[in-house]
Amino acid sequence: MDKFVIRGGNPLVGTIRVSGAKNAALPAMAAAILTDEPVILENIPDVRDIETERKLLVSMGAEVELGYGRAHHRTTISCRSLINPEAAYEVVKTMRASTLVLGPLVARMKRARVSMPGGCAIGARPIDLHIKGLEKLGVTITQEHGYIEASAERLRGGHIIFDKITVTGTEDLMMAATLAEGETVMENCAREPEVSDLAGLLNKMGACITGAGTAKIRIQGVSTLHGARHRIIPDRIEAGTFVIAAALTGGDLIVSNCEPTHLGALLEKLQKCGVKIASNGESVRVVAPASLRAADISTEEYPGFPTDMQAQYMALATQAEGSSVITENIFENRFMHAQELARMGANIRVEGSRALVRGKTPLSGAAVQCSDLRASASLVIAALVAEGETILDRVYHIDRGYERIEEKLRGVGAQIRRIGEILPKKAAAPVGVA
Ligand code: EPU
């Protein structure tokens, strides 16, 4: 199992490039199920979840070419001859976003069999809203032996009001409704940029969707969709992670190839903390202040402060002067990083959905463990300001959603290297040169 060895103390300086958004690429790949023509997706991030989705599509009979290079990160997916409309437990347990194939499969193949995801490190994460929505579109659903079995001769348009805002739920049902007979109206939808990106792709494929990016989406069903070429939006969470890392390390960093308008709530909050931010069309320059000021955050659905940035913000709060209250409203168990940050010297008290961070406390290197993707990112950036060496275990969590983060950070001055196993201290290569 890979580990990161990180030595803190270097400010991040230079330019760091953002990859394509994992959470936009995953539904886009699932959308390819809706047509028998090839779908070409560009700006696909080279992360483990994409490989997992590739395997899932291949197991169904899809042909998936996936290529990464200097100029292109591209996949071509052809679902001409799907034979097995199933997402098995082995895949779904490693990547919950696998449930995104449910809607497209039943819309195109008339049936689907998808494993129930079960809970995970950040919360219970049920998919009842996907199921209720599909039933509204005329799908018959049964649940047996941990699997959801869905079937419908032809989906019919319906009126769906989400009880709670759900990102992949909105995406799953939007995909299903494209091939339904008649109009579907969905209310209380997620307004995340990833939803709008998916709608953009589906419309290129011949769908008729309006309102994506607002709470009310209308979909006029069509009988078939065709192939398309689409460029995935930049990853706003990866961008935000680099922005925080620069602010925390006393850096001066340009985060390039991003979409600053997708980072609004985060950038506004960081300015309250004293961070200087300048953005243009596709990059953000971050200049850290001499001293960071504390500010409270409360996670919300887009355009509010993203839950996927909460852990990284907590790392920053440990180095801000004063107390910060961090309230997590989206997931019930998303503070696993707090105890690891405390091992590095942070003063954090967690009570239910709130964490009180008292800063500024010096951090020092420690052996810490990743528990989920964003928690891991927070530990990496905390280690960048900690005195001494941090050894971060279970970095496979970070590899799920960050493309070669250690290479990118090393390129702007961080001392971080990946090791396959811990070597005896004397034999270890100097940090930063591996
Ligand atoms: N929920 C339900 N029932 C449902 C669906 C959701 O109760 O049927 C609840 C969830 O338990 C949660 C809330 O609704 O409390 C919001 O969950 P949502 O469905 O929006 O989350 P998701 O679609 O499973 C996506 C991202 C997550 C991100 C959340 C929130 C993808 C592939 N995943 O998950 O990303 O945290 O939205 O913004 O898009 C990550 O990248 O690290 C990550 C976890």
Taking alpha carbons only, the member of 272, 237, 271 closest to residue 381 is 237
> 155: Cβ–Cβ under 8 A, 6 or more apart, which residues?
106, 107, 137, 138, 139, 176, 177, 179, 180, 181, 221
What is 121-183 written as a DSSP string? Answer: TTB----HHHHHHHHHTT-EEEEETTEEEEE-SS-B--EEE-SS--HHHHHHHHHHHHTSBSE
pLDDT for 93 equals 87
**For the CA of 164, the nearest atom of ligand 1:** 14
For residues 45 and 145, what is the distance between their CA atoms, to the nearest angstrom? 34
**In order along the chain (434 residues), what is the average pLDDT of each group of 10 residues?**
96 98 98 98 96 96 90 92 93 91 97 86 87 98 94 96 98 98 98 98 98 98 98 98 98 98 98 97 97 98 98 98 98 94 97 97 95 96 98 95 97 96 46 33
Q: Would the CB of 129 count as within 6 Å of ligand 1?
A: yes
Please give the distance, rounded to the nearest whole angstrom, from the Cα atom of residue 122 to the centre of ligand 1: 10
DSSP letter for 354, please: E
Please give the distance, rounded to the nearest whole angstrom, from the Cα atom of residue 60 to the centre of ligand 1: 25
Neighbours of 83 (CB within 10 A): 10
**For the CA of 127, the nearest atom of ligand 1:** 8
For residues 365 and 186, what is the distance between their CA atoms, to the nearest angstrom? 49
pLDDT for 427 equals 42
pLDDT for 429 equals 39
Please give the distance, rounded to the nearest whole angstrom, from the Cα atom of residue 110 to the centre of ligand 1: 26
Q: Whose CA is nearest to atom 43 of ligand 1?
A: 308
pLDDT for 119 equals 66
pLDDT for 428 equals 41
Q: Whose CA is nearest to atom 6 of ligand 1?
A: 166
Q: Would the CB of 126 count as within 6 Å of ligand 1?
A: yes
Q: Residues 122, 154: contact at Cβ < 8 Å?
A: no
Length of the chain: 434
Topology match between the domains 3-12+260-274+291-419 and 22-231: yes
**For the CA of 125, the nearest atom of ligand 1:** 11
**For the CA of 99, the nearest atom of ligand 1:** 24
Please give the distance, rounded to the nearest whole angstrom, from the Cα atom of residue 307 to the centre of ligand 1: 9
- Token pair, residue 207, equals 């769908």
| Three-state DSSP class for residue 66 | strand
Domain ranges of the chain: 3-12+260-274+291-419, 22-231
Q: Whose CA is nearest to atom 27 of ligand 1?
A: 308
Query: Tokens 């905390």 — which residue?
Result: 382
Q: Would the CB of 29 count as within 6 Å of ligand 1?
A: no
Q: Whose CA is nearest to atom 4 of ligand 1?
A: 127
Name the residue of 19, 128, 166, 328 to mutate for ligand 1: max ligand atoms within 8 A of Cβ. 166
For residues 251 and 272, what is the distance between their CA atoms, to the nearest angstrom? 17
Please give the distance, rounded to the nearest whole angstrom, from the Cα atom of residue 308 to the centre of ligand 1: 10
pLDDT for 41 equals 98
State the fold for domain 3-12+260-274+291-419: UDP-n-acetylglucosamine1-carboxyvinyl-transferase; Chain (3.65.10)
**For the CA of 26, the nearest atom of ligand 1:** 32
* Catalytic residue IDs: 120
Question: What is the tens place of the pLDDT at every residue in 247-287?
Answer: 999 999 999 999 999 999 999 999 999 999 999 999 999 99
pLDDT for 431 equals 36
CATH number of the structural domain 22-231: 3.65.10.10
Q: Report the relative pairing of strands 13-17 and 252-256 from DSSP bridges.
A: parallel
Q: Whose CA is nearest to atom 31 of ligand 1?
A: 23
DSSP letter for 422, please: P
pLDDT for 426 equals 46
